Amino acid sequence: MKNNIPVKQAVPYTHLYKVSRSDTLLEFLLKKMDLSRNSVKSLLASHKVLVNGNMVSQFDYPLAKDDEVKIAKTAQKAAVQPKLKKHVASPVKKMIIYEDEELLAFNKPAGLLSVESDKETECAYKMAADYLREKGAKSRPYILHRIDKETSGVLVFAKDIKLHSMMRMNWNSFVTLREYIAVVRGHMEEKSGTIVSYLKENQNNLIYVSRDRNGKKAITHYEVLEESKDYSLLRVKIDTGRKNQIRVQLADKGHPIVGDDKYSDGEGPLKRLGLHASALEFKHPVTKEIVSLRAPIPQSFRNLFKKTK
């Protein structure tokens, strides 16, 4: 599938560690690597340590759950600190749909990773980090959840590590709504319903529906909003946030999301995956009020059904 997001090759690395609980960078590496304190400090000083794709040399740099720490094969250049410019629009600022002292939310475009991968470094996390640094913020972004590269829509970061830890540990109790818009092939036999299944992951990292109840239970509600000759537009709400949940369950029902080259043939009229994270609602960790975030349905989704009227 084509997209307009530039692809930047990831940095070759020798070690990869995933953070399971809050820590500081130096102490985390001392626990993970069979090296002396001076040797670990040397790695940091020589610019060989990356956190979520960004070079970090600060010994007490805060780490949060789900951060990825890599040891690069060669020294990396420090990120250039952008000069502050007033009233200058940027792609990042256009993506922002919500911001306060504790949180930052994007309407992420399709084709952009939430966080870097082994093949690409350009990602929403890096954009959020650059944006906060440009503002002169003392904090960095912390990943609260992820959406697939091919999926567009609401993506939220925390700005405080303690709030991040609290929200990540209790994400399901904070979130009150997770809504998506999907374009699927064919017509649903029932125009609304609930799909309950158990998901497992194979050795190729593909998710599949299993009859084994030892799999992860996935609950998805849907309703048909529009139909054309060949496609249906669905509003989808999920009770569980399993990996690729919506894509797998709809494909298993014989109505794969258009443009899905992972769980179907990838064909479709949109030139992208027909899945959009349209709404996320959750309790604010400080004010306790409900934050309701919306990302407008892509016009290309709507156009597909306007043509039939």
Is 96 a domain residue?
yes
Of 121, 138, 160, which residue is a domain's last? 160
pLDDT score for 54: 81
Claim to verify: residue 219 and residue 150 sit in the same structural domain: no
Q: Which domain covers residue 19, as residue numbers? A: 13-72
Claim to verify: residue 149 and residue 177 sit in the same structural domain: no
Is 7 a domain residue?
no
Claim to verify: residue 185 and residue 250 sit in the same structural domain: yes
Claim to verify: residue 155 and residue 176 sit in the same structural domain: no
pTM of the model: 0.82
Is 66 a domain residue?
yes
Claim to verify: residue 128 and residue 55 sit in the same structural domain: no
Is 80 a domain residue?
no
pLDDT score for 125: 92
Claim to verify: residue 196 and residue 270 sit in the same structural domain: yes
pLDDT tens-digit readout, 43-65: 999 999 988 888 888 898 989 88
159 Cβ contact list (under 8 Å, min separation 6): 101, 102, 103, 104, 132, 137, 139, 140, 141, 142
pLDDT score for 217: 96
Claim to verify: residue 177 and residue 299 sit in the same structural domain: yes
For residue 201, give the CATH number of its domain. Answer: 3.30.2350.10
Residues forming the active site: 148
Claim to verify: residue 176 and residue 289 sit in the same structural domain: yes
The amino acid occupying position 73 is K
Residues of the chain with pLDDT under 50: 1-2, 79-89, 308-309
Cα gap 25→19, rounded to integer Å: 10
Claim to verify: residue 151 and residue 263 sit in the same structural domain: no
pLDDT tens-digit readout, 195-217: 999 999 999 889 999 988 889 99
